[in-house]
Amino acid sequence: MNSMDRSSSRPPPLPRGAPIIAALDIGTSKVVCLIATGEKGGRTRLLGIGHQRSGGMKAGMVIDPDAAEQAVRAAVGQAERMAGVTMERVSVSVACGRLKSQRFVARVRTETGIAHDGDVARALSGGEAFAARGGRTLIQFHNEAWHLDGAEGVSDPRGMAGSELSADLVAVTADDGPLQNLLAVVERCYLEPHQLAATPYASAMAVTTEEERQLGVLVVDIGAGVTSIAAFAGGRLAMAEVLPVGAQLVTFDIARRLGTPVTEAERIKTLYGTLLPARSNDHESFSFSVSDGEDEMTARVSRAELRSLIEPRIHGIAALVHERVVAAKLDRSISERVVLTGGGAGLEGIDSVWGSMGDTSGAAARGTTVRVGRPSPIEGMSADMLGPAFATVSGLIGDSLQQHFAARTGGLRGWRGGGYVSWIGNWLSRAKG
């Protein structure tokens, strides 16, 4: 029985009041929908999964709404049938619209000399307005720390005396247009995209530990159409960005140079692609198809020749990541611990050579460690669905469950994912203005 089949045994009953969460990752090459449940501080349990070839997407953006809708409907329907439920709301990962993060401080004067809920709300509202300017939409919003009259480390300022309240904020935003197109596709499937999560953040949360995020870590998710970057320091998000390049370019390079169909080039990359130099089997060759018609024609190429086709493109992606990290002026300790994930991280040897690829000198920084990150196991999920390619949707499930339980406690700290109602309300108010 494969991962798409319903188990023949009856699943254990859901705990009373346990949430049922649906997460949707609409990528350039695939659409994945997970339906899961969990308890606060407990395990996450898979209820249903849908996995379909994507359509109508390019570099994370919708270019054909009808084709994209068809793929999303198929993936969600597959997950719903397996779970035995019909979902009305879904959490959606976002990688489109030149997604970027920014850090800033919001300050307000307290109205009575004592910080109250209204002062907190004005500080956060001002921060949201600052982040969502210039045609940008807020995807995620985080208040890292509160300060009252310069006093640092205030966990909850409400009820404390002080004249100036300030908040250290991190916002992740995207351009309105591409995001509107993505969410419109979800709506056409009769689903409410009630919570949004930035793809870099979701992937990072799936493949890193709390200790890594505390010490400092750089997570690079190499998808088919985009490469997302997330950096953490002191347990907090220091950077999030998406680049419009991905592993699909490697496939196109192979197809063009070998004169083979794209589907065959993808098979070649998956089965024979490597970045490891000086292998004993470098001179071994394999055959491949150079036609997609009835008259099948074949050719042969060595693994060494194939590596020479793959390496320049991966080197270029690594150089772009390095350029963005340098521009962000991150602490050096962050880039000394790198986690690669996403479908592109499945290339053999990518972890061994990545550290030296982004550096223009060709030498890895001393003490740099690089590993391939896989999402933590989800109960009921098969091993083949726990690879790097499923990091985003796995992290999205975990983040959605965390947000569900955080909302019930009413805390002041932590991420607040963008909700569809607030998103469309903000968008309409800007449009009317």
pTM (2 decimals)? 0.86
Domains contained in the chain, CATH given = 100-173 (3.30.1490.110), 243-372 (3.30.420.40)
Sorting pLDDT into bands at 50, 70 and 90, what band is 192? very high
Asked which of 14-18, 194-198, 320-324 is least confident by mean pLDDT, the reply is 14-18
240 pLDDT band, cuts 50/70/90, is very high
pLDDT recorded at residue 421: 38
Q: What does the mean pLDDT of the chain come to?
A: 86
pLDDT score, position 424: 38
| pLDDT tens-digit map of 31-90 | 999 999 987 767 889 999 999 999 999 999 999 999 999 999 999 999 999 999 999 999
Band the pLDDT of 367: cuts 50, 70, 90.
low
Query: pLDDT-based confidence at 377, cuts 50/70/90?
Result: confident
Secondary structure, 3-state, the chain: CCCCCCCCCCCCCCCCCCCEEEEEEECCCEEEEEEEEECCCCCEEEEEEEEEECCCEECCEECCHHHHHHHHHHHHHHHHHHHCCCCCEEEEEECCCCCEEEEEEEEEECCCCECCHHHHHHHHHHHHHHHCCCCEEEEEEEEEEEEECCEEEECCCCCCECCEEEEEEEEEEEEHHHHHHHHHHHHHCCCEEEEEEEHHHHHHHHHCCHHHHHHCEEEEEECCCCEEEEEEECCEEEEEEEECCCCHHHHHHHHHHHCCCHHHHHHHHHHHCECCCCCCCCCCEEEEECCCCCCCCEEEEEHHHHHHHHHHHHHHHHHHHHHHHHHCCCCHHHHCEEEEECHHHHCECHHHHHHHHCCCCCCCCCCCEEEECCCCCCECCCHHHCCHHHHHHHHHHHHHHHHHHHHHHCCCCEEEECCHHHHHHHHHHHHHC
Q: What is the per-residue pLDDT for 402? A: 81
307-334 average pLDDT score: 92
